[in-house]
Chains A and B, each alone.
Chain A
């Protein structure tokens, strides 16, 4: 899950995600992307929410999208994907992307259960927790919180 008020927009998650998947330093191949809006100062990390009723799986004409039984992640099989882009349009959260290098669809695959972005996020703005804990999560206090003097 993402906690936007803790996100600084540094995009380390993007860099580490692309490196984990392609051993390349290229944020535009990342499966997590930070929507930075400079006019408001808001930064929102966006990655596949792994919805239980994923509308994307059903639209794939090549049956390239399926659910990983171990992690529960919605996974796109590169070898079956033909890059038609129907899934990109079908995702209500806009978190399926076309990889600019392969021109095939990509989304967050939870790195097989150990998300790289979570490991590297400097403010803990991205966390990977069991769903029952997610609602009761105590948010970390950011370094810039008001001080008492």
Chain B
């Protein structure tokens, strides 16, 4: 298929086992059905990673996919998606990442890189302007992400090269390992770094000097102008986003009584004021930093000028990093949270999952399930930040007790036994990240139904706070509607933050993330879609993902929440006494809204056929006899 713009039309295939690279054209079925980004990674996983493939085996694939708008002049068009079967959850996996790597891949002439097999010895991949080469990386293996970047940039003799690399955690197959781009941008979730490590692929360096073509420049420029004016005139995207980034949520969630505190035992953290967005601005924030082409600059850059962590410079923190190494672990020392952020970035760990695991271990310690003999002498009392930092290191290096935690919170609970499962706050083996479902009920069904485990980014609702007062069927339809809106940036390659999270109203969000996005896509590619056609792509992505997981045995009883949320009332705060008591009736309505069978949670034949997914419907036919 010839592309007039947006897409480069070329996929780089990397056979690590035989140390060969080749090219193939981007197919029209993928483009028409799935647009790009997460759409591509999800469909390719469905087609190629069949049931039975071990996530850490050479048969798993690792896909780096940009969207058609990645690297274009569309604001915040920085995103790329890494997809592979997740070693953390065993099901569909993907991780979304900003920074400058994705655009650079586009400038180098590729929409996607697909890595297969396993290299005999450590290698890295270097891509420049349509040429790719597999290089030895034995001398970089064992190094952290910063050192890795330094060495590769020096060897390639180019400061402008963009690098996505794993640290020691990915090498050691830690199941919450991330892939780090530009040092502090993470493709974090689902343990994608461990898959890269299992393939002995240390880094992918890209450099490109080509342009991103656009089919209809006038229309494209007009849509960008409209978008920029919308962003400018909205205080959320023009002031709050660069002013706080996601750290604004610390005080918001704590005020709602839903801030994950001491492994989700309560929703109010007494030390919240010491670690919130204002505390960061007053003490450590150097500046807001931006991903490619983003006027928002929500990324934080922090510097510690005195005290125990003097001299620390780190890209971060995000809200969930503060919660993970902070309130979840009962820690109100902000500088130590920044240090944890730095360590996680250097080792290549998902800060969200890592902090979740440490919080879990601390509760096991509090409840007496483990003691210093189990933790190799570490005192895991709440708020002991020295132990938190040491555990980050031990998890990354799989040392002693760290090796148990390195397999994720579900596996760690199994290994500890004695009923530790009760304190493992996860869905489908992925730990929960942001707000307590007991404090905001309807909205947080998203943890239960997300297709990559307890995820908070598959459904994002502006006006989430009003949902709890709606009838459940109407609320479920809204969740489904916003699930479809959220998939648009994931597929097209721009960022959810300026388009969705940071908006003054739901109407502005829809204008940005659907109406203007549709115009931008149509003018960039010359493939004219209507808004309802774009929404159909979103539905196709979600249904393909659900079908993928259904083939792996995921059913309705997996779409659940941790027992703590279902049974233990919130002990304090504005939502004191609340338990998650709407799971079953809300799930019924959510499945109906999504065209899924309410008994099994599997997409129905009718729904799949309506989306043109007859092939998937046929594949799922045998599952009906094994509900």
* A positions within 8 Å CB-CB of B: 5, 8-12, 15-16, 18-19, 23-29, 35-36, 38-41, 43, 100-101, 122-123, 142-147, 149
Contact = CB atoms under 8 A, between A and B. Distances in A.
B214 A142 contact: no
Given A10-B293, A10-B294, A38-B182, A25 B72 contact: yes
Nearest to B295: A122
B243 A23 contact: no
Nearest to A37: B159
Contact of A12 (B100, B289, B293): B293
Interface string B300-333: 1101000000000101000000000000000000
B281 A145 contact: yes
B542 interface: no
A8 B209 contact: no
A144 B281 contact: yes
Nearest to A145: B281
B107 A144 contact: no
Contact of A143 (B208, B210, B242): B242
Contacts of B239: 143
Nearest to A38: B183
Given A8-B297, A100-B209, A144 B287 contact: yes
A123 B294 CA distance: 11
B617 interface: no
24 contacts: A8-B242, A8-B287, A10-B297, A11-B290, A12-B293, A15-B293, A18-B211, A19-B73, A26-B209, A27-B107, A28-B107, A28-B160, A38-B315, A39-B146, A39-B313, A40-B313, A41-B301, A41-B303, A43-B289, A122-B297, A142-B288, A143-B288, A146-B282, A149-B278
Given A10-B294, A41-B301, A143-B242, A25 B214 contact: yes
Most B-side CB within 10 Å, residue of A24, A143, A144: A144
B295 A10 contact: yes
A-B CB proximity, top 3 nearest: A26-B211, A10-B290, A41-B301
Nearest to B185: A38
Contacts of A123: 242, 297
Contacts of B269: none
A10 to B, nearest CB: 4
A142 B315 contact: no
A12 B232 CA distance: 15
Contacts of B282: 146-147
B392 interface: no
A41 B290 contact: no
B212 A147 contact: no
Contacts of B100: 11, 36
A128 B301 CA distance: 27
B285 A144 contact: yes
Contacts of B211: 18, 24-26, 29
Contact of B315 (A8, A18, A41): A41
Task: Select the residue from B160, B244, B287, B313 with max chain A CB neighbours within 10 A.
Answer: B287
A36 B184 CA distance: 13
Contacts of A101: 209
A28 B214 CA distance: 17
A26 B109 CA distance: 12
A13 to B, nearest CB: 10
Could you say which of A12, A35, A36, A122 has the most chain B C-beta atoms within 10 Å of its C-beta?
A122
B49 interface: no
A144 B248 CA distance: 12
B35 interface: no
B233 to A, nearest CB: 13
Contacts of B73: 15-16, 19, 25
B527 interface: no
- Max chain B Cβ within 10 angstroms of own Cβ: one of A10, A16, A142: A10
Contacts of B159: 35
A36 B243 CA distance: 20
A93 to B, nearest CB: 16
Contacts of A16: 73
A10 B160 CA distance: 14
Contacts of A146: 281-282, 285
Contact of A9 (B146, B214, B290): B290
A37 B174 CA distance: 29
Contacts of B313: 39-41
A8 B315 CA distance: 12
Nearest to B292: A11
A40 B314 CA distance: 8
Given A10-B292, A11-B293, A143 B243 contact: yes
Contacts of B214: 25
Contacts of B315: 38, 41
B62 interface: no
Given A39-B313, A144-B281, A147-B282, A26 B295 contact: no
A8 B293 contact: no
A106 to B, nearest CB: 13
Contacts of B295: 10, 12, 122
Nearest to B221: A19
B286 interface: yes
Contacts of A143: 239, 242-243, 288, 297
Contacts of A26: 107, 209-212
B623 interface: no
B293 A39 contact: no
B405 interface: no
A41 B287 contact: yes
A66 to B, nearest CB: 27
A36 B290 CA distance: 11
Interface string B182-224: 1110000000000000000000000011111110010000000
Most chain A CB within a 10 A radius of its CB, from B149, B183, B282, B288? B288
B562 to A, nearest CB: 34
Contacts of B146: 39
Contacts of B113: none
